[in-house]
Amino acid sequence: MLIIDGKKVSLDLKNELKASVDNYRAQTGKVPGLTVIIVGQDPASQVYVRSKAKTCKEIGMISSVIEMPADTTEEHLLNTIKDLNNDPAVHGILVQQPLPKQIDEFAVTLAIDPSKDVDGFHPENLGRLVMGHLDKCFVSCTPYGILELLGRYNIETKGKHCVVVGRSNIVGKPMANLMLQKLEATNCTVTICHSATKNIPFYTQQADILIAAIGKAGFITADMVKPGAVVIDVGINRIEDASTKNGYRLVGDVDYDGVSAVASAMTPVPGGVGPMTIAMLLKNTLQSFQRTNGL
């Protein structure tokens, strides 16, 4: 079985991005800038935000993190976004989710200038993706990272049956719509399963490419997978493990040991889709910089 190594691909990609940033710095004296806003103290979000900022600096981009207390008002957050929309040194704006309950996430998504929405969450970007204008939008980072993995591993997709399990706005919906497009690493027949789907195994057993984005540890078991399928695991679930230093470990939505005996190729957790997500965020930020500067 082929292990689809997201860690390695993300390192290659980061090296390519760094070379581009170095080149643009020499050419124009300018570099891309990403601002990340985090509201409150959610531990997982803090880890992600720190990691995003660190990777940004590693490849020579300017990164800033705005930390706001958990009781921040929606109005204050929206005003901050407005300032960032008008700041020419900021090419990407990302507001880490989830947000505290007094803040309407959709209002925040709508407030970000679509041309700086490197998360690809704004309806204008999602709408352009659905219409197939990938060169004129931002594709949300996790689905974009999966597309990059399929492409770099030359996974055959044309005419294949892709089953996406999960219908979130961040992963499932953009992923399914991407796989539907007539592109090199897509062009599939697509099925989406979700929490109300009756008999999920009936669908997953027909998948040539199975993308699991459910958020439940080990949900996809070997009996649900067609022999030879390509399995992409988007899940990052913490499960208790007393033998580790922090008392937990990360597992995916796929039962790795069981499914790896059936699949032809598979992404591990950690080290599969996860590292690609940050790399694609930086790729989107670079793309925003290129578009702004006509490069």
Site residues (vs ligand GUN, CB under 6 A): 94-97, 119, 141, 170
Least spacing, CB of residue 78 vs ligand GUN, in Å: 16
Least spacing, CB of residue 141 vs ligand GUN, in Å: 5
How far apart are alpha carbons 154 and 122 in whole angstroms?
Answer: 30
Least spacing, CB of residue 201 vs ligand GUN, in Å: 28
Least spacing, CB of residue 96 vs ligand GUN, in Å: 5
Q: How far is CA 247 from the centre of its chain?
A: 26
DSSP bridge partners of 250: 238
* 96 a catalytic residue: yes
How far apart are alpha carbons 142 and 228 in whole angstroms?
Answer: 24
Smallest CA-to-CA distance from 96 within 71, 75, 116, 121 is with 121
3 state SS of 265: strand
Q: Which residues contact 161 (CB under 8 A, 6 or more apart)?
A: 188, 189, 190, 191, 206, 207, 208, 209
How far apart are alpha carbons 192 and 202 in whole angstroms?
Answer: 12
How far apart are alpha carbons 87 and 89 in whole angstroms?
Answer: 6
The residue number whose beta carbon is nearest to ligand GUN equals: 97
169: part of which helix (H) or strand (E)? Answer: none
Q: What is the DSSP letter of 61?
A: -
Nearer to ligand GUN by Cβ, of 90 and 265: the residue is 90
Catalytic residue among 96, 117, 233, 287: 96
Catalytic residue among 119, 233, 253, 255: 119
Catalytic residue among 14, 52, 116, 283: 52
Nearer to ligand GUN by Cβ, of 97 and 115: the residue is 97
Tokens of 154: 């030359």
Nearer to ligand GUN by Cβ, of 97 and 205: the residue is 97
Nearer to ligand GUN by Cβ, of 138 and 289: the residue is 138
Nearer to ligand GUN by Cβ, of 170 and 192: the residue is 170
| Bridge pairing between strands 209-212 and 230-233 | parallel
* 12 a catalytic residue: no
* 52 a catalytic residue: yes
Least spacing, CB of residue 93 vs ligand GUN, in Å: 10
Residues with a catalytic annotation lie at 52, 96, 119
